[in-house]
Amino acid sequence: MGVMELGVLTREKAKVYRAPIIKETDDFAYIAPIGLRVKYRNLTKAGLLRLPSFVEWV
């Protein structure tokens, strides 16, 4: 799980905005996990993906 801000086309972002909301707070809306394939440069020291970019939906 995580946040991917770069490399996602507008038409692909629309699919995320239509996802069902599981939980909502004043600041965030939590949606069901969405399967997708990303490419990334390497892993950070914390084990996170560095510079993930959208490739395709799974």
* pLDDT for the residue numbered 1: 67
2-15 average pLDDT score: 81
Cβ atoms of 44 and 37 closer than 8 Å: no
pLDDT digits (tens, 9 = 90+) for 13-51: 888 888 899 999 999 999 988 888 999 999 999 999 998
Asked whether the beta carbons of 3 and 13 are under 8 A apart, the reply is no
pLDDT score recorded for residue 7? 75
pTM of the model: 0.66
- Is residue 1 within 8 A of residue 19, CB to CB? The reply is no
Looking at residue 47, its pLDDT comes to 92
